[in-house]
Structure formats: C-alpha cells, structure tokens
Amino acid sequence: MEKFGYSVEAILGQENIRLPTRAPITLEEAE
C-alpha cells in the first residue's frame, strides 16, 4: 500500500491536472 501512498499524492498533486483519468482509478485501488 506504500507504493499507492506516494502514487496517490503524485496524482493528486500534479498528475491529476495532466491525467485526470488515472486519478479515480488509483484512488479506488488505493482504498
């Protein structure tokens, strides 16, 4: 789950703006 931890932060930080499609997918997997 640690790998998802920084992944989610990265996506919500900047990737969310560039890849909004991956944000919800990673969030669901993180949960």
The pLDDT tens digits for 1-31 are 556 566 667 766 665 555 555 556 665 666 5
Taking the C-alpha atoms of residue 23 and residue 9, their distance in angstroms, rounded to an integer, is: 10
Measured distance CA(1)–CA(14) in Å, rounded: 20
| pLDDT computed for residue 30 by the predictor | 60
User: What tokens appear for 24 in the block?
Assistant: 């919800």
Q: Which residues contact 1 (CB under 8 A, 6 or more apart)?
A: 30
DSSP assignment letter at 20: T
Total domain count, the chain = 1
